Structure 1
């Protein structure tokens, strides 16, 4: 070029290494999935701490909490402690372990619903006066026998809008590191 400046920059090696890193990151998302699974557990722990659903709506207090105080869904702490992360090469998840006491009541607390006494034949009992009384099966609750108990939904698993942003950040950070780039600014 006459009378001018010609500047040429070769980025072939750096670009090639960065693209190879991105390819490797896309083929091995396990570190990102692990980060996401652990974040899901942190989010669930936050739900128990604040007694709110993922959108920040407060849980309906349990009758026990209204009568005696304490925290809803935290009497024994079994449900909270049962939430574990799980991940692999193509997934991330978190939730109550599939077996054990907490697994039996995890879904009803997450989604809400009605627990009914098991159907069965009425039983007869002899009364104090010698008469016969028939009793139906009932659920034993701290508040006496009941034919059914309605449990309101108290979602402890799930992501808020900020949580979705955090998951996307974890994925972006995984790819940024693989490409050899610097920190991502939030």
Structure 2
């Protein structure tokens, strides 16, 4: 070649260091999975306040909630209190250990057998004056009565409280992007 010449040399030690940081950050997503699990747990708990599942789909109201003016899936608070999360280097999960949770999550039917129940009351005054009868605990009753309850099928609609939607996916993607951005910047992954 005659005339002028330009030589370009690429120093790849910086790129090698960058790729090494990205590989290390991608190999142990533990910190971001812990953040993701916490976010999913918080989102799941919020659903009990809003009465809606992933995507904001409102739960069909329960008969108890209609009757008492309460919230669906929130009676004793045990289901919501049982929500936990955990994570590892490559996974994040949220769930519950309550056996009845699947029935509420997916819906279904339960066959209830015929049975006899005992009701306890406190009776004041004449036995034929029903306005003076009060349902009470067994220990406070002065009158007990057996009742036959016919067998029936209890049907529960799906009220999903677990799962992720588009907004959740966006937050999780931003958590992962931040994790990788710290690795690119040379910070702690």
Does structure 2 retain, via aligned residues, the 8 Å contact 1:17–1:179?
A: no
Closer, same or farther: CA 69–33 of 1 in aligned 2, 3 Å: same
| 2:177 paired with 1:172 | yes
1:177 Cα deviation from its structure 2 partner:
1.2
Q: 1:16 to 1:70 in 2, by over 3 A?
A: same
Post-superposition Cα deviations, 1:58-98, rounded to whole Å, max 9, x if no partner, equal 111111111111111111111111111111122111011x3
Output the aligned Cα RMSD.
2.9
Structure 1 equivalent of residue 57 of structure 2: 57
Does the aligned pair in 2 maintain the 1:20–1:179 contact within 8 Å? no
**Structure-1 residue corresponding to 2:107:** 112
Matched residues in 1 for 2:83 and 2:153: separation?
27
Contact 2:32 2:179 survives alignment (8 Å): yes
Structure 1, unpaired ranges of 5+ = 124-134, 139-146
Q: Deviations over 1:44-65 (max 9, x none)?
A: 0121111111111111111111
Q: Which has the larger radius of gyration?
A: 2
Matching residue within 148, 157, 170 for 2:153: 148
Q: Can you give the 5+ residue segments of structure 2 that lack an aligned partner in the other structure? A: 117-147
* Aligned residue runs from structure 1 range 35-184, under 5 A: 35-96=35-96, 98=97, 103-117=98-112, 138=151, 147-180=152-185
For residue 73 of structure 1, give the secondary structure of its aligned residue in structure 2: coil
| Deviating 4+ runs (over 2 angstroms) | 8-18, 135-138
For 2:9 and 2:75, how far apart are their aligned partners in 1?
A: 65
Q: What residue in structure 1 maps to residue 124 of structure 2?
A: none
TM-score normalised to structure 2 length: 0.70
